[in-house]
Amino acid sequence: MLTSREKIPVLVFDDHEAVADRVAGEIVAFVQKSEAAGVPAVLGLATGSTSLGVYRRLIEAHQNGGVSFRNCVTFNLDEYYPMSPDSLQSHHQFMFANLFDYLDLPRESIHLLRGDLLREKALQHCEEYEQAIREVGGIGLQILGLGRMGHIGFNEPGSLPGTRTRLIRLDEVTRKDAAADFFGEGNVPEEAVSMGVGTLLESRRLLLVATGEHKAAILRRAVEGDVGPEVAASYLQNHADVTFFVDLAAARELTRIKTPWLVEDLYDWDRRATQRAALWLCDLKDKSILTLQRQDYSENRLFGLLKKYESVDHLNQTVFDWVRHKIHERKRLFRNRRCICFSPHPDDDVISMGGTLLKLSRVGNEITVAYMTSGNIAVFDHDVLRHLDFILLTMEDLGYDSTQFRVIADRVRDFLQTKEPTTVDLPEVQVMKTNIRRTEAIAGAGVLGIPPHRCRFLDLPFYHTGEVRKSPISEEDVGILLHLMEEVRPDVVFVAGDLSDPHGTHSVCKEAIYRALDRYSGESPEVWLYRGAWQEWDVDEADVLIPLSHDEFSTKLQAIFKHESQKDSAMFPGACDDREFWERVQQRNTTTARLLHQFGLPEYYAMEAFVVETMHSSPSRFPPNLS
C-alpha cells in the first residue's frame, strides 16, 4: 500500500553510500553473469557526481580481484557540444579519470560520444553511435542519473519517447546546474550530444540513481506523476525492467515518506510521525495546533492517529508541547561549553547559524570555527586584481620595497589576462583567493564575538584540485579533523547537514567529520546539524529552534556582508535561486518563525533550526576510502 502511488519500483537507502554499494553490486553481478554465459556485458554509463561513488566501488571490486571488465563493451550517455575531449569539463576526461584508467576494459570496447566534430559530421556520428549499439545487440544494463528538470542524459523537457542519439539544445536550468563546473553559466555550452529517450528505453535493464534533497521534487513527479515530455524520466514508467535507487534525501517528497498516512493506515505513530501529520494538517487547514478538530483529522485519513490518544484535545496539546519544547530561548542555552562549528566553506557558519553563534558566544561558550575548505574557486579574478592593487599601493605608501612582490603581481596579471574561463588557477592566484576568503571569514566571525585565534583554517586536501570536482575523502583529511577534535575536546560540534548543496562539498565534509568522530578518543560530543544556504529543517524535523530578535538577526546579516567576494554576485549561487545568500537567509529564517506563530506558538522575528544527534562508539558509518 505504501508504494501504491509509485509507478516505478523505487528502492530507498539511508544515504548515498548505501545507494552506491547496491548499484555497484548489481553492475558487478551483471558483468559476472555475462562472462559466465560467454556474451559481452554491454553497459550504458553516465557521468556526474551521482556516479562517482558507484565507479569507486567498481574500481575497488576490480582491484580486489572480484570482477574483470575485459568482456565489457561500454557506451556513454552524453557529451557537451562543442567540447574538446581534452577539456577538464568533458565527459571523456571524467570517465577516464574516474573509471576507465583503473579497469582492464579494452580501449576498443569504449564508446564515447564526441563533442569536437563539425555539425555535419556530428549528425553522422550520432547515427553511427546508434548503429554501434545495434551491432552489439543493444545495451544490457544502462545507468542513469536524474536532472533537476527530470532529464535523463540530456533529454530535456520536451523530448519525445521515440528520440534517438542527437544534438540537443540545453535547457536554461541545466546550464545553471552545470555552471559550477565551468566557472560560470556563460561558459557552459549551449548544446549537447545525447542518447535519445527511445535509445534508452530499448535497454534491457535500467538503473536510475538519484541522491540529494534537490532531486526530491522531480523524483516524485517522475515516479508518481503522469507520463509526458515535461519530465523525460517519466517515460521510464513504460519500461519493463527499471529500478530507481535513491537516498532518503531524494525520496523525501514521495508520498510514502512525506505523508504515508495518505496511502496506508499507520500503526507506528512515533513522535516524529505524529508531529509531521499534525503540522501538515495545520498547514492544510490553515489552523493552529490547538484549534484542530476531530473532523480535520478524520477527513484527511488520520483515523489511526486519533485512536492513539484519549481525545483530540490530548493529541493537540501533546503536539503543541513537543513543538514548544524545541524553542531554546536565552535562558535555555547551554553555557561554558567547548564548541566546534565546522564550516565547509568560509561563509557557511554565518549564513547557516550566525544568530546561534552570536547568542552562544554571548553566554560564555568557547567557540572554535573550523573552516574546512578554502573556498578559493568561488572568488572572481577581478577581486584578485583589486587586492593586488591594494598591496602594491600600501607597500608604496609605507615606503617598503615591492620589487619581489611586483614580480609575482606581474605574473598573476599576465595569467589572468590570457586565462581561459575553465583554466585552473596558478598557485599564486589560488593563494590570493584563499586569503581573500580567510580575511572575510575572520571579519564575519568577529561580528559574532568570535576572536581571530578561534578561527581555524583546515584547508582539507580533498579540495585541492583547483576545480569544482573534488577528490575523495582521504586519511589525511580525517586526520586533520581528528587532530583538531583531540586538541579542543568539544562538548558540542556543529555540522552542515545540508543535503541540498548542489556541489556536494557539504556532504563530503559531513562524511569526513563523522569518520573522525568514530575515532575520537574523548567523550562523544553532541552533534548539531545545521542547514546551509539552500534549505532549512522543517519544524517537525528540527530538535532545536533558536529564536532571534530583529537586532540579533541584523547582526547576523552584518556578519554575512563581511564576505564581500560572495556579495552582490556570487560565483556559485546554485541554480535554483538567483537571490543573494543574505536574501535567502532572511526569507528562510523569518518563514520558520512565522510558521511557529501560525501553529500557535509565540511570535519571534526569526529562527534557526537544528537536528541534534548523540554520537556513540560504533563501527565506521562509511566504507574505506576507495581512491
- Give the C-alpha distances (Å, rounded to integers) separating 318 from 274, 275, 540, 547: 10, 9, 13, 21
Indicate the DSSP class of residue 555.
H
CA–CA gap between residue 577 and residue 500 (Å, rounded): 12
Give the closest residue to 46 by CA, choosing from 99, 119, 105: 99
Contact yes or no for 328/322 (Cβ under 8 A):
no
Q: Residue 578: which residues within 8 A CB-CB, separation 6 or more?
A: none
3-state SS of 122-184 is HHHHHHHHHHHHHHCCCCCEEEECCCCCCCECCECCCCCCCCCCEEEECCHHHHHHCCCCCCC
List the one residue out of 207, 236, 205 whose CA is nearest residue 223.
236
- Pairing, β 606-614 against β 526-530: antiparallel
Q: How far apart are the C-alpha atoms of 203 and 197, rounded to whole Å?
A: 10
Neighbours of 453 (CB within 10 A): 8
> Cell triple for residue 413?
596579471
Type of residue numbered 542: A
212: left (phi over 0), alpha (psi -120 to 50) or beta: left
d(CA 512, CA 319): 36
User: Within 13 A of 443's CA, how many CA atoms are on the CB side?
Assistant: 14
H, E, C per residue of 381-437: HHHHHHHHHHHHHHHHHCCCCCHHHHHHHHHHHHHHHHCCCCCCCCHHHHHHHHHHH
Which residues are catalytically annotated?
A: 156
Integer Cα distance of 193 and 170 in angstroms: 10
Nearest to 208 by CA among 154, 141, 140, 145: 145
Query: Distances from the Cα of 214 to the Cαs of 232, 252, 259, 261, 378, in angstroms?
Result: 17, 10, 19, 24, 21
- Could you tell me the CA-to-CA distances from 247 to 22, 24, 256 in Å, in that order? 11, 15, 14
- C-alpha distance from residue 304 to each of 265, 278, 285, 296, 398 (Å): 6, 12, 19, 13, 77
Distance CA 147, CA 194 (A): 13
Dihedral sign of CA atoms 511, 516, 518, 522 in order: negative
* Residue 612: its H or E element: strand 606-614
- The three-class DSSP label of residue 459 is coil
Peptide bond into 82 cis (omega under 30): yes
Cell representation of residue 452? 581571530
Pair 564, 450: CB distance under 8 Å: no
Label each residue of 252-312 as H, E or C.
Answer: CCCHHHHCHHHCCCCCCCCHHHHHHHHHHHHHHHCCCHHHCCHHHHHCCCCHHHHHCCCCH
